[in-house]
Copies of this chain bind each other. A is one copy, B any other.
Amino acid sequence: MSTSSSQDPLPSKFGVLVFPAFQALDAFGPLDAFNNLADKHKMDLAIIAKTLEPVSTKYRDPAMNPFGSNFGESIVPTHDFITAPPLDVLLIPGGLGTRADEELESLYEFVRKTYPSLKYILTVCTGSRIAARAGILDGKRATTNKNSFEKVKAVGPNVKWVSHARWVVDGNVWTSSGVSAGTDMALAWIEEVFGKEMAEEISRVMEYERHLDPNDDPFADLYNLPREG
């Protein structure tokens, strides 16, 4: 499973992609683990979006908001797709906003263009839909949100989708199941790259009891997903 050599410098240049109606915890679970890691290592974060306008978690389609709630949070990008700095690690959250193919075309292009120079790409939940649309999951094993599994699978016919997994690692591509699974994946990634002690220290600071087994996925069965043949 190891993808890094001890000669390589540790990854320090992180980026996260945000887009309208991203799922807050998909981003902020992993990001808060990385926030803690940045106390122990020199790390920079670029928050990357189509423009520098704040990006909200709110749905823009009224059909998604049947009770007319005015509920969501906006995050401030630091870079757009043109000004984004070189990155070692790119994190892609999911959310209902991942379905807006037309809106996301330039974001897919950014992922496609950026992937070859990354050390790692991490997707959470339906963030793997974005990676699939960008074409970088073709031929690779990957997972996604279990409630949206069949829908995401349909947009990546050449991806080896894994139904029963909290997260999946294939080379430098890490994909997690829905929302909270991203935090487990981020901590497993920290363990892989920065060591077990660091992952355990950050889990302790976050008072987080990790799921340690990537294959233990209680939610696949809950959604009655079939296992791969």
Contacts and interface: CB of A to CB of B under 8 A. Distances in A.
Contacts of A222: 204
Given A29-B25, A206-B25, A39 B74 contact: no
Contact of A72 (B35, B66, B73, B205): B35
A188 to B, nearest CB: 15
Interface stretch (A42-50, A113-121, A150-158): A42-50
Contact of A75 (B44, B70, B74): B74
B41 A32 contact: no
A63 to B, nearest CB: 11
B32 A179 contact: yes
Interface in A11-40: 14, 23-25, 27-29, 31-32, 34-35, 38-40
Interface string A161-184: 000000000000000011111010
Nearest to A28: B28
Contacts of A208: 179-180
Interface string A64-79: 1111111111111000
Contacts of A71: 14, 34-35, 38, 43-45
Contact of A35 (B34, B44, B57, B181): B57
A139 interface: no
A70 B46 CA distance: 9
Given A28-B28, A32-B25, A145-B207, A69 B54 contact: no
A42 B147 CA distance: 23
Given A54-B54, A178-B205, A179-B205, 12 more contacts: A25-B32, A25-B206, A29-B29, A35-B73, A41-B67, A42-B67, A47-B73, A146-B207, A178-B207, A179-B206, A179-B208, A180-B206
Interface of A: 14, 23-25, 27-29, 31-32, 34-35, 38-45, 47, 54, 57, 64-76, 145-147, 177-181, 183, 204-209, 211, 218-219, 222
